[in-house]
Structure 1
Amino acid sequence: MANNIVATWGFKRKLPEPFEDYTDHAIFDDIASKYCTQPRKKSTLHAATLRAVLAYLELENPVGSTPPEKLGAVGTQSNNFVVAEYPSKTGDLQVVVYNQLNGKFYGGCYTPPPDVESTPEKYEFKDSKQSGAALLFALMPVFLADEECNEKYQELKAHRDNGYPDLDAAAETAAVLCDNIYRRTRYASGLPTGGVKIDLPANGVLSLIKPLNIQKGVYAPTEVLHGDFQVLRPGSGFKKAQAAISRDDFVGKFILTASRRLSPEEEVSVPTLAEWYIIPPEIKRICEHAKLTTDTTQPMRNFLLRGPAGTGKTEGAKAIASALHLPYRCITCSANTEVFDLLLFTPMQNLILWTMRTVTG
């Protein structure tokens, strides 16, 4: 596993317009994102990050006469995936699928106009191949969920819309934006909030998007955020999209015992749903069963969520705790785990959710 999506060799590449003159002096002292914990603050412009940000700006709010097929597209699919089509400066269309739950990527490179029945070329994230701009482009909706990142993005957008009247100020804004993205991906596991999980293959070669999966709609976006998809066409999947479950009708709406008052420590442990999380009907159904059986002789308090890694078991458990307004605790079982460990760890008035990963092969 590698998490250096903002690669060291990427800092040596020429910066895109209008920042190309900063290529040889891209470091800015005394400014950094809020995720910088070092006493000495500094941030650096990064070519691939800037290309991704500028491409997303143009996609979101085109200022020129670029045809839609050359702007790319970004969308989401259920809770698991962000999908994107990035028009590379090399002329090919780079298609990226990002799994938000496990940080893994799938990818492929097409020659326009794309032939979805043919196998695409591999996406190789390395110094001599692709720069990673397409990966960062796909991650933009995830990055922008962070308040600071979104603030700096809006500032840079204002600079661009006004024709960059103060390029130095725009460069400083861009540097903090690059620093925000760098630290949230590079040090994600050590951040209490804001981290973006990245799991790249050590050799940089992404798992290839297969033509059959394209035709079956495996990665078809259920929501198009911006642009027109050419490969991952919306609505090409076999499953009909279900009506979204409102957060107002879910979070805290299935409290099991109205008289129970959580301690301050317990209140802090009640999960908050991420903005990108779409509530699955199966998760709501568990909450309904737990609530409806509360006053019966056999209240339902044990539920098993089973499936492969990255299918949403952990996020589903957190969502259930949020709906029931209960503290969320996680314990990893081993061969030496005793039932008494679980009884001491989880009070009987709480719900017990078992998540089990299925392993194939």
Structure 2
Amino acid sequence: MGSYYLYSDLYRGIYRRYKNYWLELTKQNPQEIFTKPILHWWSEHGRKDLPWQKNKTPYRTWVSEIMLQQTQVKTVIPYFTKFISKFPKINDLANSEQSEVMSHWSGLGYYSRARNLHKAALIIKKDYGGIFPNKFDEILSLPGIGPSTAGAILSLNNIEPRAIMDGNVKRVLSRHFFIEGDLTKAGMLKKIWKLSERCTPETDFDIYTQAIMDLGATVCLPKKYKCDQCPVVKSCIAKKKNKIELIPQKKAKKQKRKIEYNFLVIRSEDSFLLEQRDANGIWPGLWSFPTLETDEKVESWIESNTGISKINYQNNIDSFTHSLSHIDIQINPVIIDISDSKVERLKKNMTFIKAQKINSIATSKAVKKIIDRL
């Protein structure tokens, strides 16, 4: 990094298309026209009171960066606060059961993130004595950590200047320097990574890293962008060409798969029957109401799994759609009361849990939604 310039060989396509403007723009160090204005903007307008910015450590940054993947800041804040309160140190996380970690992630979604956090904490405890590693390759080798997360941990904690590439940064860079094309393709991704590296300063890199993320999160928004508040609007090519909404290039959305399940909401007085799901598939490892295909016989399932032959159906809750990143699930809650019957058997992965305790275990939002409706 250091003092470097934008080279035309990196942006041939852009250079050919907008030659005159690029000749003017690339005469200057990108840190002069881009980095410095963003640093100055952050000192007045940047976010400085987020919970992971207080008492900053690599561990706290790591947890926040993982939670913020695919999840908005306002959603993450209460989860981060609760998680760090329960697991204030890496060894606290490593010494906990995975089920306990999952319970503090319940409702945040993308549960592989929580499992990887726990796996990585165990590795850090074993291989690094419970101290978060401070070398890029060591951090990158941990489960669930990619180059951008590793870079953010090092940069935000003022350890080493490293480029990052989250969605906000990708949007700011691609708009300002007008990077066209599919940024998920290896060649384009390599180009924008090089650009990110060239814009990262050798000093104040911790501030710059936070600043460019904040700019993307609060000003250079996907749709309701606020160009009048942007510190680099004068040199932004997408703005100059009136093509902000076209950059970065949007991927064609894949049509979600749709499935339908019956949720057996089996009630015994003030408790509900839940089963822990397999480690694979939807909601892996979480507690859920027994889930049946729509053509499965409810009575047969209950008799086979509980030994109860006579059941009391109650008024069902309206069906609803629960959306995941890749699938839409139509859930049909089937309410059954077995309070007057004796349960003769249950599988090891099943148990009755009191309604008021369900929020304290690792369940999906769909389960909590049904409980709230009852």
**Could you state the TM-score of these two structures normalised by the residue count of structure 2?**
0.24
Q: Relative contact order, CA 8 A, sep 6+: which one is greater?
A: 1
- Structure number with the higher helix fraction is 2
Which structure would you say has the larger Rg? Answer: 2
TM-score by length of 1: 0.25
